[in-house]
Structure 1
Amino acid sequence: MTARILFACLALIPSLCLVADAPAADAPAADVQITDDGTKAVVTIDGQPFTEYRYSGYAKPILYPVYGPGQKPMTRNYPMVKDVDNEASDHPHHKSIWYTHDEVGGIRFWMEDAEGKTSKDVGTQVQTSLKIDGNKIIAQNDWKSSDGETVCSDQRILTFGSDGEARTIDYEVTWIASSGDLVIGDTKEGTMGMRTHPRLRLKADPKRGNHTAGGHSINSEGVEGKEMWGKRAAWVDYWGEIDGQLTGIAMFDHPSNPRHPTWWHARDYGLVAANPFGVNHFENKPDGSGDMTLKAGETMTFRYRFLFHTGDAESANVAQAYKAYAEE
C-alpha cells in the first residue's frame, strides 16, 4: 500500500488515525505566523524570526535557524553556514534540530551519504505534502533508500507557541509502516535530535575549533553533565550564557511515548537526542534488544517539546513546565 493511499485510509477511519486528534501545545499567547516559500516554512512570533522548517535541499527536514528569548540563536550554524567563530565542524549530519534514525528497515537515515563513512545503504526523507494550519505545520514524508524505494512514511505536526518570554516547539511524529513490516533498529544513532549553540556545550575541543564551552545540564532525575548520556529521563535541560544572556533549551519526552522515559544520546560536545531504541548501547544489552517492529499498516506516535527559556533549569522552573506538558 502506498503512503498516499494509507493516509487516505487513515483519514476515512478517524479511530485509526493517531494524528488528527493528537494533543498539541496550548494556543499561543503570541502572534505566530507561518509562510511557505516552496523550500521552507518560515515561522515568526510577534513579528520576529523564530525558526524555519527547511524541507528541501537536505537529506531530511530540519529546523534552522532557531531563536530563543531575546532573539538569541539556540543551535549550531554548521554545516548550513560554515566557518563561524567558535563552532565545530564535526558531524555534518547534526543539523540544528531534526528527526531521523539509523537502521530503519535496514537503511541508515541518521548518517548522510555525502560523508562517505559507511558501506551500508544511506537513505533520505522526502516530503510528499505540507499544510499550514494556524500555528502548526503538518507534513508527510517518505523515507527512501538510495534506489528510491520507500522504506516507511511519517506524518509530523510541528506546533509553535510561547509561554511568557519563553518559546516552544511541539514536535510530533507518527511512523507509518507503509511498505510492509518495518523494523526500527537498536542503535544509539537517533532520534529526536538537536545540536546546541556552542555556548551550551559542556566541553571545549580546540582541535575542532571549540575554544570555549560554559554550558551546564541536568535531567529530570538530577543527573548532571556528561553522566546524562545513556540515562533514562523524562526531560533534559541545557543552559549557558549566549550573547550576555543566560539562556537554555529543555527537551521533554511525552509520557504517552513508547518506552517512556526515553534514553538520551546526550554528548558533552552539543549533541542532544531522545532515543527510545538504542538499548544495546545505553544499557550494554545484547544487540537488537531495542529493536521495535511495526506490522504493515501500523502506526506509532512520538511527541516531544522544545522549551527555549531564560535562566537555568531551576529559575526557569523546567520541572513544573514539564508537569504541565505531561498533563495536556
Structure 2
Amino acid sequence: MLKIRVEAGAHRRINTPIRLRLKGDFPNNGFFTLIDEQEGKTPVQILKIGEEVELCWILDSLEKNESKSFSLVKEESSPSWRNPPLSIKEYEDQTAFFFNSQMVMSCRHSKELSKPFVYPLNGPEGTPLTWNSPPDHTHHRSFWTAHGMVNGEDLWLEGPNCGKISVVNISSWKGYVFSEIELRMIWQSASGKRLVDENRMIRLWNIPDRQWLIDYSTFFTASYGDVLFGDTKEAGMISIRVRESMEVENGGRIENSWGGINEAETWGRKANWCDYSGPVDGFWQGIAILDDLFNPRHPSYWHVRDYGLMTANVFGVTEFKGRSDERGGLLVKSGDTLGFRYRIYVHKGDSGEGKVAEKYLDYVAPPRLSIIME
C-alpha cells in the first residue's frame, strides 16, 4: 500500500491542487482515493506520462506547520464525494466546462474565428467576468493567446491583412479532480503560410467553493523554420479583458504582487502576479493571473490598462522600459520549443479578500510530499 505524507510548511493550505509524479504503472480502470487518519476520503485522478504516472488531488485544508498522512486505495465502484465530477460538453464550435449544471467556461474554436478563445469565464456567483470583442478593441477576445509580430506577421489584430490561429485537433479529459482540454493549432500568416505549431492545455480544478483555479499552458514548436516572436506590447501568452463594470474607469481595481495599484503603478512593470477585480451584478469578484517561476523572463512584464485589459507580456521591453538599447523579441530555432505556464484564479472580493498572494504560494511552493511506505 502506498502511503503519502503531506506537509503544509509555514503557511495554511486551503483547496490546494496537489501533483505527485511517480515511477511505475497503475491500473487503467477503477477509482482511486486517498484515506487519511480520520478515514476521510479524497478522490485521486491518475495520469500516465511517459514511463511515469502523476497522482492529482485537491488538499482541502491543512494548518501551517502541520502534516497529514494518506493511504492510496483502489475502489471497486464510484464513491460518493461532496463535489460531483466536472463535466465537459463538446459542441461543433465550442467545448464547455460544467460544474453540475453551471457552465464555468467555454472554449470557442469555430473555423470562422481568427483565433480560439475562452468565453464566458464565469465567476463564483455564476456570472461572466470577461468581455468578448468590446467596441473599443474588437480583437480583445475575453481570455486568449495572441501575438502581433510573429516573423513580422500580425496575429494580435484581426482582419484580412492579419494572420490566423487555426485549431486542428481537440482532446478532452474529465474527472472528479479536474477536467482538461488540449488544443493543437497552427499559426498562419495572412497569406496562409505556416509560421509555428502551438499545443495549448486548459485544466479546470474542481474547487469546492467555486473560486476556480485554471492551469493554462502553451507550447510553441518551430516546425517550419526559425520563429521570432517580436518586441511589441501588442502580444500576450495569456490575456484577459474584464467586464465593463470591473474596469478601473468604472470603479474596479488592478493590483500586482508588489502592491502596485491600477495602470499607473502596474503597466510595463514586472510582477509575479496581477489581479483585476470589480463589481459584477452586485458582487465584487476578480481574476488573477499567476506567472510560473520557470517561464521565460519571469517575473513577467504586464500590459494592463484601466480600460479592462490584463496581459502577461514578456516581449514589449522597448516600450515598457522606454529605451531602444534592450530588445524583447524571443527567437525559437527550427525544431525547438518555447513554453509558458500560468494559473488563473477566479475569486470573490479583491486580491486581499481573495487571498491571491496565498494562492500564488500554493502554485509555486506547494506542500511538501514524501512517500512513507509502499
TM bucket normalised to smaller: 0.7 to 0.9
| Alignment counterpart, residue 87 of structure 2, candidates 33, 38, 63 | 33
Paired residue type of 2:154: R
- Alpha-carbon distance, 1:47 to partner: 2.5
Tell me, yes or no, if the aligned pair for 2:239 and 2:312 is still in contact at 8 Å.
Answer: yes
| DSSP 3-state at the match of 1:281 | helix
> What TM-score, normalized to structure 2?
0.72
1:149 aligns with 2:189: no
1:159 aligns with 2:190: no
Match of 2:252 in 1: 215
1:266 aligns with 2:326: no
1:187 aligns with 2:220: no
- Aligned-partner Cα distance in 1 for 2:205–2:84: 7
For residues 313-328 of structure 1, the aligned pairs below 5 Å read 313-327=351-365
- Alpha-carbon distance, 1:198 to partner: 1.2
Tell me, yes or no, if the aligned pair for 1:60 and 1:124 is still in contact at 8 Å.
Answer: yes
Tell me, yes or no, if the aligned pair for 2:85 and 2:206 is still in contact at 8 Å.
Answer: no
Match of 1:125 in 2: 165
- Alpha-carbon distance, 1:200 to partner: 1.4
Paired residue type of 2:247: R
1:198 aligns with 2:253: no
- Alpha-carbon distance, 1:72 to partner: 2.1
- Alpha-carbon distance, 1:241 to partner: 1.7
- Alpha-carbon distance, 1:327 to partner: 2.7
**Any stretches of 5+ residues in structure 1 without a counterpart?**
1-19, 80-87, 115-120, 204-212
Tell me, yes or no, if the aligned pair for 2:131 and 2:243 is still in contact at 8 Å.
Answer: yes
Distance 1:44 1:76, change over 3 A: same
- The CA RMSD measured in Å over matched residues stands at 2.1
| Alignment counterpart, residue 183 of structure 2, candidates 139, 142, 156 | 139
Tell me, yes or no, if the aligned pair for 1:186 and 1:287 is still in contact at 8 Å.
Answer: no
- Alpha-carbon distance, 1:38 to partner: 2.3
Identity %: 33
Tell me, yes or no, if the aligned pair for 2:301 and 2:312 is still in contact at 8 Å.
Answer: yes
Deviation track 1:164-207 (CA, whole Å, cap 9, x = no partner) reads 2301221100011111011110000011111101121111xxxx
| Alignment counterpart, residue 73 of structure 1, candidates 124, 128, 133 | 128
1:104 aligns with 2:150: yes
Distance 1:290 1:239, change over 3 A: same
- Aligned-partner Cα distance in 1 for 2:92–2:279: 35
Deviation track 1:269-312 (CA, whole Å, cap 9, x = no partner) reads 00110001110110113177001111101001101121110111
Q: How many residues align?
A: 285
1:175 aligns with 2:215: no
- Alpha-carbon distance, 1:30 to partner: 5.5
Paired residue type of 2:97: V
> In terms of Rg, which structure is larger?
2
- Aligned-partner Cα distance in 2 for 1:319–1:151: 37
Distance 1:25 1:311, change over 3 A: farther
